[in-house]
Structure 1
Amino acid sequence: MSAPRFPTYFLSHGGGPWPYMKGPMREHYRLLERSLQDLPAQLPERPRAVLVVTGHWEEDAYTVSSSPAPGMVFDYYGFPEYLYHIQYPAPGAPTLAERVHGLLSAADLPARADAERGFDHGTFSMMKPIYPDADMPIVQLSLRHGYDPAEHWRAGQALAPLRDEGILIVGSGLSYHNLSKFGPAGAEPAMQFDGWLRQTLAAGPEARREALMHWAQAPSAREAHPREDHLIPLMVVLGAAQDDPAVCVYGERFMGVAASSFRFGVDRTPTAFDQLAA
Protein backbone atom coordinates (compact mmCIF):
# COMPACT_ATOMS: atom_id res chain seq x y z
CA MET A 1 0.00 0.00 0.00
CA SER A 2 1.47 3.36 -1.03
CA ALA A 3 1.88 6.21 1.44
CA PRO A 4 -0.68 9.02 1.25
CA ARG A 5 0.36 12.27 -0.42
CA PHE A 6 0.72 15.17 2.00
CA PRO A 7 -0.46 18.71 1.31
CA THR A 8 1.88 21.68 1.44
CA TYR A 9 1.28 24.85 3.45
CA PHE A 10 2.15 28.52 3.47
CA LEU A 11 1.62 29.71 7.04
CA SER A 12 1.67 33.18 8.54
CA HIS A 13 3.73 32.55 11.67
CA GLY A 14 2.98 35.64 13.75
CA GLY A 15 5.46 37.84 15.57
CA GLY A 16 8.42 36.81 17.68
CA PRO A 17 8.04 34.06 20.30
CA TRP A 18 4.31 34.65 20.71
CA PRO A 19 3.24 31.16 21.98
CA TYR A 20 5.49 31.70 25.00
CA MET A 21 4.28 35.23 25.83
CA LYS A 22 2.40 36.14 28.98
CA GLY A 23 -0.07 38.98 29.40
CA PRO A 24 -2.58 40.85 27.21
CA MET A 25 -0.49 40.75 24.00
CA ARG A 26 -0.93 36.98 23.90
CA GLU A 27 -4.67 37.41 23.20
CA HIS A 28 -3.93 38.92 19.75
CA TYR A 29 -2.82 35.44 18.63
CA ARG A 30 -5.95 33.53 19.62
CA LEU A 31 -7.24 32.88 16.08
CA LEU A 32 -3.81 32.19 14.61
CA GLU A 33 -3.19 29.68 17.39
CA ARG A 34 -6.47 27.91 16.71
CA SER A 35 -5.65 27.65 13.02
CA LEU A 36 -2.29 26.06 13.77
CA GLN A 37 -3.74 23.68 16.33
CA ASP A 38 -6.23 22.54 13.68
CA LEU A 39 -3.52 21.64 11.16
CA PRO A 40 -2.79 18.02 12.25
CA ALA A 41 -6.48 17.16 11.73
CA GLN A 42 -6.13 18.23 8.09
CA LEU A 43 -3.41 15.68 7.31
CA PRO A 44 -3.96 12.17 5.95
CA GLU A 45 -1.83 10.75 8.77
CA ARG A 46 0.94 11.83 11.13
CA PRO A 47 4.02 12.86 9.11
CA ARG A 48 7.41 11.24 9.51
CA ALA A 49 8.93 14.72 9.71
CA VAL A 50 8.33 18.36 8.75
CA LEU A 51 10.44 20.39 6.34
CA VAL A 52 10.12 24.10 7.17
CA VAL A 53 11.12 26.64 4.52
CA THR A 54 11.74 29.61 6.78
CA GLY A 55 11.65 33.28 5.90
CA HIS A 56 14.14 33.89 8.71
CA TRP A 57 17.11 32.17 7.08
CA GLU A 58 18.85 33.30 3.92
CA GLU A 59 22.09 31.99 2.43
CA ASP A 60 23.96 32.10 -0.89
CA ALA A 61 22.96 28.45 -1.44
CA TYR A 62 19.90 26.53 -0.31
CA THR A 63 21.01 25.35 3.12
CA VAL A 64 19.41 22.57 5.11
CA SER A 65 19.74 22.09 8.86
CA SER A 66 21.24 18.69 9.57
CA SER A 67 21.72 18.55 13.34
CA PRO A 68 20.00 15.65 15.13
CA ALA A 69 19.32 18.02 18.07
CA PRO A 70 18.95 21.61 16.86
CA GLY A 71 19.35 24.47 19.31
CA MET A 72 17.50 27.79 19.35
CA VAL A 73 18.02 30.99 17.36
CA PHE A 74 16.53 34.02 19.15
CA ASP A 75 16.23 36.22 16.07
CA TYR A 76 14.04 38.95 17.56
CA TYR A 77 14.54 41.95 19.79
CA GLY A 78 12.75 44.07 22.37
CA PHE A 79 11.06 41.22 24.24
CA PRO A 80 11.24 40.43 27.98
CA GLU A 81 14.32 38.52 29.09
CA TYR A 82 12.47 35.27 29.79
CA LEU A 83 11.68 34.93 26.08
CA TYR A 84 15.39 34.49 25.36
CA HIS A 85 15.58 31.33 27.46
CA ILE A 86 12.70 29.30 26.02
CA GLN A 87 13.23 25.90 24.47
CA TYR A 88 11.47 23.92 21.77
CA PRO A 89 13.43 20.65 21.91
CA ALA A 90 12.09 18.92 18.80
CA PRO A 91 14.57 16.51 17.19
CA GLY A 92 16.20 17.12 13.85
CA ALA A 93 16.20 14.57 11.04
CA PRO A 94 19.65 14.14 9.46
CA THR A 95 18.40 11.51 7.01
CA LEU A 96 15.74 13.90 5.71
CA ALA A 97 18.33 16.69 5.52
CA GLU A 98 20.50 14.45 3.35
CA ARG A 99 17.51 13.65 1.13
CA VAL A 100 16.65 17.36 0.73
CA HIS A 101 20.25 18.15 -0.15
CA GLY A 102 20.28 15.36 -2.71
CA LEU A 103 17.04 16.44 -4.39
CA LEU A 104 18.18 20.05 -4.71
CA SER A 105 21.60 19.06 -6.00
CA ALA A 106 20.05 16.70 -8.55
CA ALA A 107 18.03 19.68 -9.84
CA ASP A 108 21.29 21.63 -10.35
CA LEU A 109 20.48 24.01 -7.52
CA PRO A 110 23.27 25.09 -5.15
CA ALA A 111 22.78 23.28 -1.85
CA ARG A 112 24.66 22.52 1.34
CA ALA A 113 24.03 21.27 4.88
CA ASP A 114 24.52 23.13 8.16
CA ALA A 115 24.91 21.00 11.27
CA GLU A 116 24.96 24.04 13.59
CA ARG A 117 21.76 25.85 12.62
CA GLY A 118 19.07 25.94 15.32
CA PHE A 119 15.34 26.65 15.14
CA ASP A 120 14.49 30.29 14.41
CA HIS A 121 11.21 31.80 15.54
CA GLY A 122 9.68 31.29 12.10
CA THR A 123 9.92 27.61 12.97
CA PHE A 124 9.50 27.16 16.71
CA SER A 125 6.73 29.74 17.19
CA MET A 126 4.72 28.10 14.43
CA MET A 127 5.46 24.50 15.43
CA LYS A 128 4.75 24.97 19.15
CA PRO A 129 0.93 25.13 18.63
CA ILE A 130 1.00 22.43 15.94
CA TYR A 131 3.10 19.90 17.87
CA PRO A 132 3.17 21.20 21.46
CA ASP A 133 5.06 18.17 22.76
CA ALA A 134 8.03 18.93 20.47
CA ASP A 135 8.01 15.30 19.36
CA MET A 136 7.94 15.86 15.58
CA PRO A 137 11.32 15.76 13.76
CA ILE A 138 11.95 19.06 11.97
CA VAL A 139 14.40 20.13 9.27
CA GLN A 140 14.75 23.75 8.17
CA LEU A 141 15.56 24.96 4.67
CA SER A 142 16.89 28.44 3.95
CA LEU A 143 15.95 30.82 1.20
CA ARG A 144 18.60 31.85 -1.30
CA HIS A 145 20.00 35.36 -1.71
CA GLY A 146 18.25 37.31 -4.44
CA TYR A 147 14.78 35.90 -3.74
CA ASP A 148 14.32 34.81 -7.36
CA PRO A 149 10.70 33.57 -7.37
CA ALA A 150 11.21 31.26 -10.36
CA GLU A 151 14.24 29.58 -8.83
CA HIS A 152 12.49 29.08 -5.48
CA TRP A 153 9.53 27.60 -7.36
CA ARG A 154 11.96 25.22 -9.05
CA ALA A 155 13.39 24.28 -5.66
CA GLY A 156 9.87 23.35 -4.58
CA GLN A 157 9.41 21.22 -7.69
CA ALA A 158 12.60 19.38 -6.83
CA LEU A 159 11.29 18.69 -3.32
CA ALA A 160 7.83 17.50 -4.44
CA PRO A 161 8.70 13.76 -4.10
CA LEU A 162 8.92 14.25 -0.34
CA ARG A 163 5.14 14.62 -0.23
CA ASP A 164 4.85 10.92 -1.10
CA GLU A 165 7.47 9.96 1.49
CA GLY A 166 5.58 11.02 4.61
CA ILE A 167 7.06 14.53 4.76
CA LEU A 168 5.02 17.67 5.41
CA ILE A 169 6.42 20.73 3.61
CA VAL A 170 5.61 24.08 5.23
CA GLY A 171 6.57 27.56 4.10
CA SER A 172 6.81 29.88 7.11
CA GLY A 173 6.41 33.61 6.54
CA LEU A 174 3.69 36.25 6.66
CA SER A 175 1.26 37.26 3.96
CA TYR A 176 1.90 40.88 5.05
CA HIS A 177 5.32 41.91 6.40
CA ASN A 178 5.95 45.62 6.73
CA LEU A 179 6.98 46.14 10.34
CA SER A 180 6.91 49.91 10.01
CA LYS A 181 3.23 49.87 9.01
CA PHE A 182 1.37 47.47 11.26
CA GLY A 183 -1.92 48.97 12.36
CA PRO A 184 -3.99 51.68 10.64
CA ALA A 185 -1.18 52.78 8.29
CA GLY A 186 -0.96 49.31 6.80
CA ALA A 187 -4.63 48.36 6.80
CA GLU A 188 -5.50 49.36 3.22
CA PRO A 189 -2.29 48.08 1.54
CA ALA A 190 -2.56 44.80 3.45
CA MET A 191 -6.19 44.34 2.43
CA GLN A 192 -5.39 45.05 -1.23
CA PHE A 193 -2.46 42.63 -1.35
CA ASP A 194 -4.27 39.95 0.64
CA GLY A 195 -7.25 40.15 -1.70
CA TRP A 196 -4.97 39.80 -4.71
CA LEU A 197 -3.15 36.86 -3.11
CA ARG A 198 -6.36 34.98 -2.33
CA GLN A 199 -7.72 35.54 -5.82
CA THR A 200 -4.43 34.54 -7.44
CA LEU A 201 -4.04 31.34 -5.44
CA ALA A 202 -7.61 30.34 -6.28
CA ALA A 203 -6.81 30.53 -10.02
CA GLY A 204 -5.65 27.62 -12.15
CA PRO A 205 -2.05 26.39 -11.82
CA GLU A 206 -0.64 28.22 -14.84
CA ALA A 207 -2.43 31.48 -14.06
CA ARG A 208 -1.28 31.52 -10.46
CA ARG A 209 2.29 30.73 -11.41
CA GLU A 210 2.39 33.52 -13.98
CA ALA A 211 0.93 36.00 -11.51
CA LEU A 212 3.29 35.05 -8.70
CA MET A 213 6.36 35.28 -10.91
CA HIS A 214 5.40 38.97 -11.20
CA TRP A 215 4.07 39.41 -7.67
CA ALA A 216 5.68 42.86 -7.29
CA GLN A 217 3.15 44.19 -9.82
CA ALA A 218 0.23 43.26 -7.54
CA PRO A 219 -1.77 45.97 -5.77
CA SER A 220 0.25 47.44 -2.87
CA ALA A 221 2.83 44.67 -3.28
CA ARG A 222 5.85 46.63 -2.14
CA GLU A 223 3.92 48.27 0.67
CA ALA A 224 2.98 44.79 1.90
CA HIS A 225 6.47 43.36 1.32
CA PRO A 226 9.23 46.00 1.17
CA ARG A 227 11.57 42.99 1.41
CA GLU A 228 10.07 39.71 0.25
CA ASP A 229 11.75 37.33 2.69
CA HIS A 230 8.38 36.46 4.27
CA LEU A 231 6.67 35.87 0.91
CA ILE A 232 9.25 33.76 -0.96
CA PRO A 233 8.60 30.58 1.11
CA LEU A 234 5.25 30.56 -0.71
CA MET A 235 7.05 30.01 -4.02
CA VAL A 236 8.77 26.89 -2.68
CA VAL A 237 5.59 25.29 -1.34
CA LEU A 238 3.72 26.13 -4.54
CA GLY A 239 6.43 24.47 -6.60
CA ALA A 240 6.03 21.36 -4.45
CA ALA A 241 2.22 21.64 -4.62
CA GLN A 242 2.28 21.17 -8.42
CA ASP A 243 -1.34 21.56 -9.65
CA ASP A 244 -3.05 21.13 -6.29
CA PRO A 245 -5.73 23.70 -5.44
CA ALA A 246 -5.44 26.25 -2.66
CA VAL A 247 -7.63 26.55 0.45
CA CYS A 248 -7.40 29.45 2.89
CA VAL A 249 -6.96 27.91 6.35
CA TYR A 250 -6.52 31.14 8.33
CA GLY A 251 -7.57 34.69 7.70
CA GLU A 252 -8.19 37.70 9.89
CA ARG A 253 -7.32 41.33 10.44
CA PHE A 254 -4.31 40.71 12.65
CA MET A 255 -3.21 43.73 14.71
CA GLY A 256 -4.85 45.98 12.13
CA VAL A 257 -3.69 44.29 8.91
CA ALA A 258 -5.01 41.40 6.82
CA ALA A 259 -3.13 38.11 7.23
CA SER A 260 -3.78 34.69 5.68
CA SER A 261 -2.46 31.14 5.50
CA PHE A 262 -3.05 28.53 2.79
CA ARG A 263 -3.05 24.77 2.24
CA PHE A 264 -2.42 23.18 -1.16
CA GLY A 265 -3.87 19.74 -1.78
CA VAL A 266 -5.74 17.03 0.15
CA ASP A 267 -9.46 17.65 0.22
CA ARG A 268 -11.18 16.81 3.48
CA THR A 269 -14.39 17.39 5.41
CA PRO A 270 -14.27 20.94 6.80
CA THR A 271 -13.84 21.37 10.55
CA ALA A 272 -15.59 24.00 12.64
CA PHE A 273 -12.48 26.15 12.40
CA ASP A 274 -12.81 26.47 8.62
CA GLN A 275 -15.85 28.66 9.10
CA LEU A 276 -13.72 31.10 11.06
CA ALA A 277 -10.93 31.09 8.49
CA ALA A 278 -13.14 31.75 5.47
Structure 2
Amino acid sequence: MNLQTLPGLFISHGSPMLAINPEQVGPALDRLSLNLPKPKAIIIMSAHWESNALEVSTAIRPTTWHDFRGFPEELYEIRYPAAGDPEFAEEILKRFADAHLPAHANSTRPRDHGVWMPLLHMYPEADIPVIEISLPMNMPADEIYRIGQVLAPLREQQVLLIGSGSITHNLRELSWHGESDEVPEWASTFRNYVVSKLTHSDYDAVLDWPTIPYVNRNHPTLEHFAPLFFAMGTGTRFSVVHSSFSMGALGMDIYRFD
Protein backbone atom coordinates (compact mmCIF):
# COMPACT_ATOMS: atom_id res chain seq x y z
CA MET A 1 0.00 0.00 0.00
CA ASN A 2 1.33 3.44 -0.93
CA LEU A 3 0.97 5.72 2.09
CA GLN A 4 0.81 9.46 1.55
CA THR A 5 2.16 12.10 3.89
CA LEU A 6 -0.48 14.26 5.56
CA PRO A 7 0.07 17.69 7.13
CA GLY A 8 -0.34 18.74 10.71
CA LEU A 9 -3.17 21.19 11.33
CA PHE A 10 -4.19 23.84 13.82
CA ILE A 11 -7.95 24.36 13.78
CA SER A 12 -9.81 27.15 15.54
CA HIS A 13 -12.99 25.35 16.52
CA GLY A 14 -14.92 28.40 17.70
CA SER A 15 -18.26 28.31 19.49
CA PRO A 16 -20.19 25.02 19.82
CA MET A 17 -22.70 26.63 17.44
CA LEU A 18 -20.24 25.90 14.62
CA ALA A 19 -21.78 22.43 14.52
CA ILE A 20 -25.13 23.78 13.28
CA ASN A 21 -24.09 27.22 11.96
CA PRO A 22 -20.84 26.61 10.07
CA GLU A 23 -20.35 30.21 8.90
CA GLN A 24 -17.16 30.43 6.79
CA VAL A 25 -15.05 27.89 8.63
CA GLY A 26 -17.31 24.86 8.09
CA PRO A 27 -16.99 24.98 4.29
CA ALA A 28 -13.24 25.66 4.68
CA LEU A 29 -12.87 22.47 6.75
CA ASP A 30 -14.89 20.52 4.19
CA ARG A 31 -12.71 21.76 1.31
CA LEU A 32 -9.57 20.99 3.28
CA SER A 33 -10.60 17.37 3.84
CA LEU A 34 -11.47 16.93 0.16
CA ASN A 35 -7.99 18.14 -0.80
CA LEU A 36 -6.20 15.66 1.48
CA PRO A 37 -5.73 11.91 1.12
CA LYS A 38 -8.17 10.18 3.44
CA PRO A 39 -6.40 9.61 6.76
CA LYS A 40 -5.87 6.11 8.13
CA ALA A 41 -6.27 7.65 11.60
CA ILE A 42 -6.57 11.05 13.26
CA ILE A 43 -4.73 12.15 16.40
CA ILE A 44 -6.12 15.33 17.94
CA MET A 45 -5.11 17.46 20.91
CA SER A 46 -8.07 19.47 22.17
CA ALA A 47 -8.16 22.60 24.32
CA HIS A 48 -10.96 20.94 26.25
CA TRP A 49 -8.93 18.07 27.71
CA GLU A 50 -6.63 19.83 30.14
CA SER A 51 -4.58 17.48 32.30
CA ASN A 52 -1.65 17.47 34.69
CA ALA A 53 0.25 14.78 32.79
CA LEU A 54 0.04 13.79 29.14
CA GLU A 55 -2.77 11.27 28.51
CA VAL A 56 -3.84 9.23 25.49
CA SER A 57 -7.36 7.93 24.93
CA THR A 58 -7.39 4.15 24.60
CA ALA A 59 -11.19 3.92 24.41
CA ILE A 60 -12.66 1.65 21.75
CA ARG A 61 -15.59 3.97 21.01
CA PRO A 62 -15.65 7.12 23.12
CA THR A 63 -19.05 8.70 23.73
CA THR A 64 -19.85 12.15 22.29
CA TRP A 65 -19.61 14.64 25.16
CA HIS A 66 -21.64 17.85 25.00
CA ASP A 67 -19.32 19.72 27.34
CA PHE A 68 -21.18 23.06 27.30
CA ARG A 69 -24.42 24.57 28.60
CA GLY A 70 -27.15 26.90 27.43
CA PHE A 71 -27.19 26.11 23.71
CA PRO A 72 -30.08 24.97 21.45
CA GLU A 73 -31.42 21.47 22.06
CA GLU A 74 -30.48 20.26 18.57
CA LEU A 75 -26.82 20.68 19.47
CA TYR A 76 -27.13 18.10 22.23
CA GLU A 77 -28.59 15.55 19.84
CA ILE A 78 -25.45 15.46 17.68
CA ARG A 79 -23.31 12.31 17.89
CA TYR A 80 -19.90 11.66 16.36
CA PRO A 81 -19.52 7.88 16.61
CA ALA A 82 -16.03 7.45 15.11
CA ALA A 83 -14.17 4.54 16.66
CA GLY A 84 -11.03 4.81 18.73
CA ASP A 85 -8.05 2.54 18.14
CA PRO A 86 -6.62 1.10 21.38
CA GLU A 87 -3.83 -0.73 19.57
CA PHE A 88 -2.64 2.42 17.81
CA ALA A 89 -3.02 4.35 21.08
CA GLU A 90 -0.58 1.91 22.68
CA GLU A 91 1.87 2.62 19.84
CA ILE A 92 1.53 6.34 20.55
CA LEU A 93 2.22 5.72 24.25
CA LYS A 94 5.35 3.77 23.29
CA ARG A 95 6.57 6.63 21.11
CA PHE A 96 6.17 8.99 24.05
CA ALA A 97 8.00 6.58 26.36
CA ASP A 98 10.87 6.22 23.88
CA ALA A 99 11.10 10.03 23.75
CA HIS A 100 11.13 10.24 27.58
CA LEU A 101 7.76 11.98 27.62
CA PRO A 102 5.76 10.44 30.48
CA ALA A 103 2.21 9.63 29.31
CA HIS A 104 -0.72 7.61 30.61
CA ALA A 105 -3.55 5.63 29.04
CA ASN A 106 -7.13 6.78 29.63
CA SER A 107 -9.89 4.37 28.59
CA THR A 108 -12.87 6.31 29.98
CA ARG A 109 -12.52 9.86 28.64
CA PRO A 110 -15.50 10.92 26.45
CA ARG A 111 -14.87 12.88 23.25
CA ASP A 112 -15.22 16.65 23.85
CA HIS A 113 -16.47 19.19 21.34
CA GLY A 114 -12.94 20.34 20.49
CA VAL A 115 -12.65 16.97 18.76
CA TRP A 116 -16.03 16.18 17.27
CA MET A 117 -17.10 19.66 16.19
CA PRO A 118 -14.40 20.28 13.54
CA LEU A 119 -14.45 16.62 12.47
CA LEU A 120 -18.20 16.86 11.79
CA HIS A 121 -17.34 19.22 8.93
CA MET A 122 -14.21 17.41 7.75
CA TYR A 123 -15.27 13.77 7.97
CA PRO A 124 -19.04 13.65 8.62
CA GLU A 125 -19.17 9.89 7.94
CA ALA A 126 -17.19 9.36 11.17
CA ASP A 127 -15.47 6.39 9.52
CA ILE A 128 -11.86 7.20 10.50
CA PRO A 129 -10.42 6.11 13.87
CA VAL A 130 -9.85 9.12 16.14
CA ILE A 131 -7.49 9.19 19.11
CA GLU A 132 -7.56 12.17 21.44
CA ILE A 133 -4.52 13.22 23.44
CA SER A 134 -4.68 15.58 26.36
CA LEU A 135 -3.23 19.06 26.77
CA PRO A 136 -0.79 18.93 29.71
CA MET A 137 -1.13 22.43 31.13
CA ASN A 138 1.84 22.00 33.46
CA MET A 139 4.14 21.65 30.45
CA PRO A 140 5.93 24.71 29.05
CA ALA A 141 5.27 25.65 25.44
CA ASP A 142 8.44 24.01 24.11
CA GLU A 143 7.47 20.66 25.67
CA ILE A 144 4.00 20.79 24.08
CA TYR A 145 5.81 21.57 20.83
CA ARG A 146 7.95 18.47 21.39
CA ILE A 147 4.82 16.31 21.65
CA GLY A 148 4.08 17.35 18.06
CA GLN A 149 7.66 16.58 17.03
CA VAL A 150 7.46 13.09 18.52
CA LEU A 151 4.27 12.30 16.57
CA ALA A 152 5.32 14.09 13.36
CA PRO A 153 6.75 10.92 11.69
CA LEU A 154 3.25 9.42 11.78
CA ARG A 155 2.26 11.91 9.09
CA GLU A 156 4.17 9.70 6.65
CA GLN A 157 1.86 6.82 7.60
CA GLN A 158 -1.20 8.79 6.45
CA VAL A 159 -2.07 9.88 9.99
CA LEU A 160 -3.60 13.36 10.39
CA LEU A 161 -2.35 15.35 13.40
CA ILE A 162 -4.58 18.18 14.66
CA GLY A 163 -4.30 20.77 17.40
CA SER A 164 -7.82 22.04 18.12
CA GLY A 165 -8.10 25.38 19.90
CA SER A 166 -8.58 28.98 18.79
CA ILE A 167 -6.18 31.63 17.57
CA THR A 168 -8.00 34.14 19.83
CA HIS A 169 -10.30 33.21 22.71
CA ASN A 170 -11.62 35.89 25.03
CA LEU A 171 -15.28 34.98 25.49
CA ARG A 172 -15.99 38.06 27.63
CA GLU A 173 -15.23 40.40 24.72
CA LEU A 174 -17.29 38.73 21.99
CA SER A 175 -20.37 40.16 20.29
CA TRP A 176 -22.65 37.26 21.20
CA HIS A 177 -25.77 38.97 19.87
CA GLY A 178 -24.32 40.50 16.72
CA GLU A 179 -23.77 43.96 18.17
CA SER A 180 -20.61 44.39 16.10
CA ASP A 181 -18.71 42.42 13.49
CA GLU A 182 -15.78 44.83 13.61
CA VAL A 183 -12.55 43.07 14.55
CA PRO A 184 -10.87 44.93 17.43
CA GLU A 185 -7.27 45.99 16.94
CA TRP A 186 -6.00 43.93 19.87
CA ALA A 187 -7.34 40.75 18.23
CA SER A 188 -6.11 41.46 14.69
CA THR A 189 -2.69 42.61 15.94
CA PHE A 190 -2.22 39.42 17.93
CA ARG A 191 -3.31 37.20 15.06
CA ASN A 192 -1.17 39.04 12.51
CA TYR A 193 1.91 38.85 14.75
CA VAL A 194 1.56 35.07 15.16
CA VAL A 195 1.04 34.52 11.44
CA SER A 196 4.00 36.76 10.55
CA LYS A 197 6.34 34.88 12.88
CA LEU A 198 5.19 31.47 11.64
CA THR A 199 5.45 32.59 8.00
CA HIS A 200 9.07 33.59 8.61
CA SER A 201 9.78 30.29 10.44
CA ASP A 202 10.35 32.15 13.71
CA TYR A 203 8.70 29.45 15.82
CA ASP A 204 10.68 30.53 18.90
CA ALA A 205 8.87 33.87 18.92
CA VAL A 206 5.50 32.09 19.14
CA LEU A 207 6.70 29.62 21.76
CA ASP A 208 7.81 32.66 23.77
CA TRP A 209 4.13 33.46 24.08
CA PRO A 210 4.26 35.95 27.02
CA THR A 211 5.99 38.44 24.67
CA ILE A 212 3.28 38.35 21.99
CA PRO A 213 1.36 41.66 21.80
CA TYR A 214 -2.02 41.58 23.60
CA VAL A 215 -1.60 37.90 24.55
CA ASN A 216 -3.46 38.23 27.86
CA ARG A 217 -6.40 40.03 26.28
CA ASN A 218 -6.70 37.40 23.54
CA HIS A 219 -6.06 34.47 25.88
CA PRO A 220 -6.99 35.17 29.52
CA THR A 221 -6.18 31.46 29.92
CA LEU A 222 -3.83 29.62 27.60
CA GLU A 223 -5.67 26.37 26.83
CA HIS A 224 -7.03 27.44 23.42
CA PHE A 225 -3.67 28.77 22.24
CA ALA A 226 -1.50 25.88 23.45
CA PRO A 227 -2.70 23.32 20.83
CA LEU A 228 -0.96 25.58 18.29
CA PHE A 229 2.37 24.68 19.92
CA PHE A 230 1.56 21.00 19.33
CA ALA A 231 0.65 21.64 15.68
CA MET A 232 3.83 23.66 15.16
CA GLY A 233 5.85 20.62 16.19
CA THR A 234 4.36 18.53 13.39
CA GLY A 235 5.96 20.40 10.47
CA THR A 236 8.39 23.12 9.49
CA ARG A 237 6.53 24.63 6.51
CA PHE A 238 3.63 26.88 7.54
CA SER A 239 0.64 28.06 5.50
CA VAL A 240 -2.74 29.64 6.23
CA VAL A 241 -5.68 27.51 5.08
CA HIS A 242 -8.40 29.89 6.27
CA SER A 243 -8.63 33.18 8.14
CA SER A 244 -11.73 34.89 9.51
CA PHE A 245 -13.22 36.30 12.70
CA SER A 246 -16.57 35.46 14.25
CA MET A 247 -18.53 37.55 16.77
CA GLY A 248 -15.99 40.34 16.41
CA ALA A 249 -12.92 39.02 18.22
CA LEU A 250 -13.10 35.21 17.92
CA GLY A 251 -10.40 34.14 15.47
CA MET A 252 -11.38 31.18 13.28
CA ASP A 253 -8.04 30.59 11.53
CA ILE A 254 -6.89 27.20 10.23
CA TYR A 255 -3.15 26.63 9.79
CA ARG A 256 -1.27 23.88 8.00
CA PHE A 257 2.20 22.51 8.80
CA ASP A 258 4.05 20.37 6.21
Q: What range describes the TM-score normalised by the shorter chain of this pair?
A: over 0.9
Amino acid at match of 1:261: I
3-state SS of 1:117 partner: coil
CA contact 1:153–1:235 (8 Å) conserved in 2: yes
Q: How many residues align?
A: 252
Q: Larger helix proportion, structure 1 or 2?
A: 1
The one-character-per-residue Cα deviations of 1:75-125 (angstroms, maximum 9, x if unpaired) are 111113342232111111112211111111111112011111121000111
3-state SS of 2:71 partner: coil
Say if 2:248 is the partner of 1:251. no
**Residues 233-244 of structure 1 aligned to structure 2 (within 5 Å):** 233-241=227-235, 243=236
Q: Tell me: CA distance 1:199–1:129, structure 2 relative to 1, closer, same or farther (3 Å).
A: same
- TM-score between the two structures when normalised by the length of structure 1: 0.86
CA contact 2:165–2:224 (8 Å) conserved in 1: yes
CA contact 1:54–1:172 (8 Å) conserved in 2: yes
CA contact 2:45–2:134 (8 Å) conserved in 1: yes
3-state SS of 2:241 partner: strand
CA contact 1:93–1:137 (8 Å) conserved in 2: yes
Write the distance in 1 (CA, Å) between the matches of 2:106 and 2:252.
31
Provide structure 2 residue ranges, at least 5 long, that are not aligned to the other structure: none
Deviation at 1:195, TM superposition (A): 0.6
- TM-score between the two structures when normalised by the length of structure 2: 0.92
3-state SS of 1:104 partner: helix
Q: Tell me: CA distance 1:81–1:253, structure 2 relative to 1, closer, same or farther (3 Å).
A: closer
**Matched residue, 1:264:** 257
Deviation at 1:186, TM superposition (A): 6.9
Deviation at 1:4, TM superposition (A): 2.2
Write the distance in 2 (CA, Å) between the matches of 1:238 and 1:248.
13
**Matched residue, 2:224:** 230
Deviation at 1:42, TM superposition (A): 2.9
**Residues 182-221 of structure 1 aligned to structure 2 (within 5 Å):** 182-183=174-175, 187-204=184-201, 207-208=202-203, 210-221=204-215
Amino acid at match of 1:61: A
Say if 2:4 is the partner of 1:11. no
**Matched residue, 1:30:** 23
**Residues 134-149 of structure 1 aligned to structure 2 (within 5 Å):** 134-149=126-141
Runs of 4+ aligned structure 1 residues displaced above 4 Å come to none
Of 18, 33, 46, which residue of structure 2 is paired with 1:40?
33
CA contact 1:17–1:125 (8 Å) conserved in 2: no
**Matched residue, 2:80:** 88
Say if 2:52 is the partner of 1:55. no
Amino acid at match of 2:174: F
Q: Tell me: CA distance 1:8–1:144, structure 2 relative to 1, closer, same or farther (3 Å).
A: same
Amino acid at match of 1:39: L
Deviation at 1:156, TM superposition (A): 1.1
Deviation at 1:146, TM superposition (A): 2.2
3-state SS of 1:122 partner: helix
Write the distance in 1 (CA, Å) between the matches of 2:12 and 2:94.
28
